Structure 1
């Protein structure tokens, strides 16, 4: 792989297409993903930037029995949490992914995202059974054959989460070049006490997030859901 700064990207349109076609897929086909392909994606992601080249990422790839076993454990815990909300004290995220207090415009975008998805799926406000079932689709990896779990050494600072974001994005964009799709999932974080022992993570590691990887089911309506994006003008200020 050339790392010459003078190297040109010949097919810029394909790079743009990979970025623009990345989406959070919520229904996958059961088709297996070759190990060589997964290794290739991770090898590309290893080129992601990190502060002073710390490369803080650690990846656990779950397929077959290891994948199915984790799905079974976490789905059972998710059901138990619904039956006994006091278990929320046990199943707690190690770091705050979302704010403690929501304000506009972020709460507005969150609500639009949630109700647009539920509307597409025919889930009405107050239908707790269907909401629970849909939320649990996260813990079934949306039927993807590959689950990725990402951890970080607790000794690292918050800046390493910035590094991690670039690493995750590289995996997701690279996956598009191989006809694959992904869904990054913070939903797993609350069940780290189950996940970390299952994957064999060390006591010094914390769960950053999970990710589903596989081939998208083109016939499932949920994959017709595309989230809107703000315009460049709305989030950019030009200074001259």
Structure 2
């Protein structure tokens, strides 16, 4: 008989509460303020062990994860913070996240994100110094005890990026099921030249993102970003019959 699943609460491990997948998905938010309560290696291994069952075309499984905590995470954070403060214009990601000319409705949604996100922090859109200070918090993993750096083999094609996205989503949902929050962070890809030697990332791997994992400092934070209604993105056919 297998042991019951477990969740992390502070430094203790307790039985995992049963919640529907809908509740877990709708309750997950991009947490940007974590407690420093440690997350045991066993818990991270359980998260990754479940997440690895993400769909993967031809079972390629294109992901690789560098799991950081403690002094190693601190050294990575210090190096990235220094680069962000002194030479951030010299660094650029190896892939393009946003289209140069976003069409509607995507441009409007991105603008709304900026207004809501920075507005909630009391940061004016034109305040580049405050915005850079907020961005810098990414590189401390927002205070989370565990940080992931996720890579993909650059020799693969765009289909494998779909697989990778589903894997990252699995990681965040499994973490949420264990009472943990997370934050996916594309901005780590910008500093791949710094991360590569620090983590011994081979040349064929491309840094895609980071993920912060831990307990949220504020439990039950209200969702800030709206989502489009189903009828805005779904087309139904054949149901009339």
Deviation per residue, 1:31-82 (Å, 9 max, x gap): 0101000000000011111000001111100101110111111111111135
Aligned to 2:169: 169
Partners of 2:213 and 2:198 in 1: how far apart? 19
| 2:79 aligned to which of 73, 77, 87 | 73
In 1, are the aligned partners of 2:29 and 2:223 still within 8 Å (CA)? no
Partners of 2:125 and 2:112 in 1: how far apart? 13
| 2:229 aligned to which of 221, 228, 231 | 231
Partners of 2:123 and 2:111 in 1: how far apart? 14
RMSD over aligned Cα, in angstroms? 2.0
In 2, are the aligned partners of 1:117 and 1:225 still within 8 Å (CA)? no
Partners of 2:135 and 2:103 in 1: how far apart? 23
| 1:18 aligned to which of 15, 18, 24 | 24
Please list every run of 5 or more consecutive structure 1 residues that lacks an aligned counterpart in the other structure: 2-10
**Residue 193 of structure 2 aligns to a residue in which SS?**
helix
In 2, are the aligned partners of 1:144 and 1:212 still within 8 Å (CA)? yes
**Match status 1:39 vs 2:45:** yes
**Residue 148 of structure 1 aligns to a residue in which SS?**
strand
Partners of 2:73 and 2:85 in 1: how far apart? 18
Aligned to 2:56: 50
Partners of 1:117 and 1:234 in 2: how far apart? 23
Partners of 1:127 and 1:156 in 2: how far apart? 39
1:125 to partner: Cα distance: 2.5
Partners of 1:121 and 1:145 in 2: how far apart? 23
Report matched runs for 1:178-217 at 5 Å: 178-217=178-217
1:225 to partner: Cα distance: 4.9
1:94 to partner: Cα distance: 0.8
**Match status 1:109 vs 2:115:** no
1:17 to partner: Cα distance: 0.9
Partners of 1:111 and 1:151 in 2: how far apart? 28
Query: So what's the TM-score if we normalise by structure 1?
Result: 0.88
Deviation per residue, 1:100-133 (Å, 9 max, x gap): 2122211111111111111111111322221111
Aligned to 1:135: 135
**Residue 147 of structure 2 aligns to a residue in which SS?**
strand
Aligned length, in residue pairs: 224
1:12 to partner: Cα distance: 8.8
